[in-house]
Amino acid sequence: MIPAPSYSDASMSLQDVTVELDGYMALSNVTFDVGAGTLMGVVGPNGAGKSTLFNTIAGLLPVRNGSVTLERVDLRRGALAYVPQRDSVNWRFPVNVMDVVLMGRCCRLGWFRRPGRKDRELVRECLCRVGLWDRRGALMTELSGGQRQRVFVARALAQEASVLLLDEAFSGVDVGAQEALVEVLQALRDEGRIVLLATHDLNNLARRFDQVLCLNRHVCACGAPNQVFTPEVMEELYGVQFSMDGEG
């Protein structure tokens, strides 16, 4: 058993982050902090800037104003893992589950080293954690939506990431598989990792997060689910009035 590293020192802070895309303001003065061991849901309508936010945190988009600070997150060692939207993956490219999780070792291996026994042992543990070791030889296209997401989470584990960004991870995933995925993410949170997940599902899932960031190009609210899911915030997010029956 490979000992799990400690992730309790990592933190993330965005201060007045403004991002411009093709001349329009995709994010405006976004400010929030996330400490180690946090499972945060990022909710908002289509075009609210959720993917832009994740791309900015991942360093794929330049910040026009403000700053993104990742404390004790060694980007060169792959400490930040990104689980992309379904559309940005080349599903025509035929790789199996083992291949994908091994990709998580790339940054540790550098250019010329090939994965060794330790890497494969770690990959085995990561797949066992997400319950997919038995499917290690299956092609990614043979898996269900929920299983694919768990493979990407296993890749993040193999990467030894302390920050996980999951963009629309519940898209095309049935309710049972969503629950299984949330359980895995909660376990990662308990190890001290920071997990951010963009989702449209407010009722069932966002309430299971520690914090929720309501985003509509700017931060409408950020905090515990029961604090941020108010009729006022929902109206600001979606432009329509919501009934908050059953709010807990």
User: At closest approach, how far in Å is the CB of 104 from other proteins?
Assistant: 8
User: At closest approach, how far in Å is the CB of 78 from other proteins?
Assistant: 5
User: At closest approach, how far in Å is the CB of 88 from other proteins?
Assistant: 5
How far, in Å, CA of 219 to CA of 197, rounded? Answer: 16
Instruction: Give the nearer residue to other proteins in terms of CB position, either 100 or 228.
Output: 100
Residues paired with residue 207 on neighbouring β-strands, in sequence order: none
The kind and range of the H/E element at 28 are strand 24-34
Residues that bind other proteins (CB under 8 A): 58-60, 78, 80-84, 88-90, 92-96, 99-100, 102-107, 109, 111-112, 114-115, 139-140, 152, 155, 159
SS3 readout for 59-76: CCCCCCEEEEEEECCCHH
Instruction: Give the nearer residue to other proteins in terms of CB position, either 71 or 91.
Output: 91
Instruction: Give the nearer residue to other proteins in terms of CB position, either 137 or 231.
Output: 137
SS3 readout for 86-98: HHHCCCCCCCEHH
Instruction: Give the nearer residue to other proteins in terms of CB position, either 63 or 206.
Output: 63
Kindly state the tokens that stand for 218: 């700017």
User: At closest approach, how far in Å is the CB of 136 from other proteins?
Assistant: 12
User: At closest approach, how far in Å is the CB of 153 from other proteins?
Assistant: 12
How far, in Å, CA of 247 to CA of 206, rounded? Answer: 12
77: nearest Cα among 44, 51, 110? 110
User: At closest approach, how far in Å is the CB of 137 from other proteins?
Assistant: 9
Contact 217, 49 (CB under 8 A): yes
User: At closest approach, how far in Å is the CB of 75 from other proteins?
Assistant: 8
Instruction: Give the nearer residue to other proteins in terms of CB position, either 99 or 236.
Output: 99
183: nearest Cα among 140, 227, 131, 144? 131
Instruction: Give the nearer residue to other proteins in terms of CB position, either 116 or 231.
Output: 116
Lay out the sheet containing 211-215: strands in order across.
80-83, 163-166, 194-199, 38-43, 211-215, 219-223
Instruction: Give the nearer residue to other proteins in terms of CB position, either 29 or 171.
Output: 171
How far, in Å, CA of 222 to CA of 214, rounded? Answer: 6
